[in-house]
Structures are given as structure tokens and as C-alpha cells.
Amino acid sequence: MDHFIADLDTDDVAEVERRTNAAGDNISGIALVVF
Amino acid sequence: MTVLLVGYSDLQEQVLLADAIETRGHEVLNCDVRDWPGGPPITLTPGSSEALLGTQFDYDDITGAYIHHSLLFQPYESRFTDQLTDDLIPVLNQLREHRSIFQSLSRILEDHGADVIPPFHNYGFQDRKPWQLHLYDLNNLHIPDTVFTNDPDELRSFYDTHERVIYKPVTRGGGPHELTDDDLTQERLEKLATAPIQLQEYVPGDDIRIYILNGEVIGAMRYESDQFSFKLDLKNGDRDSIDIHAATISEDIATTVTRAAKQARLIFTAADVRRRQDGTYSLLELNETPRFAAAHTHIGQDIAGQLAEFLLE
């Protein structure tokens, strides 16, 4: 399906996990302000 | 005393909250929902004072609970994607049945006098953004001009009457984008038929997040990011980076966000505000289970400790 909002199907939860994991020990706030 | 935490046990907020409770000499019942489906036994028996979530506990021993509703067996979670692709209806039913257990547990704990965050009536709060903003406007709280629509004519009209316009999902998913002339082609506008969107006037200024617990402001931060935010000002460098600073807020903003939390009946929340250089501001939204690890870890605002104290009362 082609939405007007192209990234509507982004999985918020998975994205938060990915960014948090990518930050490793240096939790630079990645996605930590989301939701 | 025991506090029940439900979500992902390695989620930063859940880790911080568990530590804060345990350092105060109390117990944590740390429930990772990824243990299910297929995990340890779950038993709720009407009339019984006890429940089993892998571990058995007495309802009356639980003084408080923090439950990440957005992680409760929601079909949009990526951990279910493959199963849903292969077996759609049975898996949807499976998730609904598990969700019912945890939602019911939340209600039972409330009935037994526990402080449950968020309260059951706030589950899915952020999925009702049109109502949320309507509520704030009804109570004369400052929000940006906003419309939720799938109507191309409405979009054009909003675009023509505002200097800069942001579009973003009604609930969740994609980030904010700025509406431009390129979005006004017939091909683009026809895509509105797939789902309504949120159009909002662009508010220049700083992104402020304010934490509120039980009617009081317990922390505030200013942050700069080109991701995960309503902020569209371009920032050079790592797209994943985000700068966080402690913030002081005016009495007017504090009053607005605490009033909004009260109207929304949120016990704990984070209010996202855009603050202009002249001090005026717009309230964008409140969040029912906000992330707070960054404020806690980077600028020393003890959100977890204050939450722990509340859940242990």
C-alpha cells in the first residue's frame, strides 16, 4: 500500500530497539525521547 | 512492598525503575512480555487473591504497577510480523487473548488499590490524538492549528492559510515532514485515500519535554534532534544524534502541562511543547508511557526515583 506518509509503516518499537542497541553503552538519548 | 513492571525487562526505563525500587529495599516483579506466547504458565482465577505470571503473587502485595501498553501483544510489533504473514487470523486472535490477560490484570490491580501507570483508561492514549488535541483546545490550552483529514481540498486549504505546514501520522509510525508544493500534485493527493493524516502549523522554537507526576512537574529537558521529533530544523552530523539539556520552564507552561495532564487523567506523563524565542509556546501532545531514560541518565533528573516513590506509596 502506498501511503501519503511514505514512512507510515515504520515499526516504532523495532526502531527504538535498533537505535538503543546501536547506541550501546553510550546512551546518547537515541530514541529515548520517543513516545 | 512489591511493584509490578510489565514490558521489556531490558528497556532502559524498566531497568532504571527496577533499580530505583530495589535500592529502596523493595521487591520488583519484572515481567518481560516477550516470554509469551509460549512462555511460563499464566493463571488468573476470578475470586482468587493470587495470580500467576510465571511467578505467583498476591494482588494485595502489589502497591504499584508500570505497564507498557504499547508492548502488550500489539500486531504492529515486529516480533510478530512473520507469524502474522503466515497465519494472520489465528495470530491476531492469539495476541488478543494474551492482551486480555494483561489488560485485565491491570484492572484487577486497580481494584485492589494499586497505583497503576498508566491507568487502564489511558491505554492507547496516543492512538486518540484527535481527541487529545480537541480536549486541550476545549480547555483553552495552547495547541498549534491542526486538522486530521483525508480530504485533498482540506489539505490545500490548510496549506494556503498557513506559512509552513507539518504533516505526520494521526497516531504513530512515520516522523514529521514539511508539506511542500510537490505534495500538491494529483498523484500525491490521491494517496490520502489510503489513510487520514495530521496537518499542523509549524511552530518555530525549541523542543521541550516536561515530565509530570501526580500533578507536579518533576523534570524538564530541551532537546535537539532531526529524528523522532516535531522539530524540522536541519541539524548537521549524525542523523542519530540528539542533544539533551536540562530546561527551566515558565510558570505558564507548567500550569498548561499540568492542566493538560489533569484533563487527560494521566498520572504520569511527558508533555511535548514547542517554545518560541519570545517565550510563547504550543502544546503538541502528552504521552502515556514516555521514555525518560535520557533525562535520567544524561541530565540527572531522577524521574525513575520519583516514579518508584509514587508506586511504593
Taking CB atoms and an 8 Å limit, are B175 and A19 in contact across chains? no
Quote the pLDDT of residue B11: 85
Q: Coil, strand or helix: which one is B162?
A: coil
CA B160 from chain centre, in angstroms, equals: 32
Q: Answer whether B188's CB lies under 8 Å from B156's CB.
A: no
Taking CB atoms and an 8 Å limit, are B240 and A30 in contact across chains? yes
Q: Answer whether B42's CB lies under 8 Å from B36's CB.
A: yes
State mean pLDDT over A21-35: 41
Cα distance between residue A9 and residue A3, in whole Å: 9
Taking CB atoms and an 8 Å limit, are A4 and B174 in contact across chains? no
Q: How far is A15 from chain B (nearest CA, A)?
A: 10
Quote the pLDDT of residue A13: 60
Residue among B157, B143, B181, B179 nearest B272 (CA)? B143
Cα distance between residue B139 and residue B147, in whole Å: 18
Going by C-beta distance under 8 Å and a sequence separation of 6 or more, which residues neighbour residue B33?
A: B6, B7, B8, B68, B71, B72, B73, B102
Taking CB atoms and an 8 Å limit, are A5 and B167 in contact across chains? yes
Q: Answer whether A18's CB lies under 8 Å from B182's CB.
A: no
Q: Answer whether B250's CB lies under 8 Å from B220's CB.
A: no
Q: pLDDT digits over B267-290, tens only? A: 999 999 999 999 999 999 999 998
| Residues from chain A contacting residue B292 (CB–CB below 8 Å) | 32
Cα distance between residue B96 and residue B263, in whole Å: 29
Question: pTM of the entire structure?
Answer: 0.90
| Residues from chain B contacting residue A22 (CB–CB below 8 Å) | 240
Q: pLDDT digits over B63-77, tens only? A: 999 999 989 999 988
**Mean confidence (pLDDT) of chain B:** 91
Residue B217: beta bridge partners? Answer: B212
Q: pLDDT digits over B240-263, tens only? A: 456 778 999 999 999 999 999 999
Q: For chain A, first and last CA: distance in Å?
A: 25
Residue among B154, B157, B158, B132 nearest B143 (CA)? B132
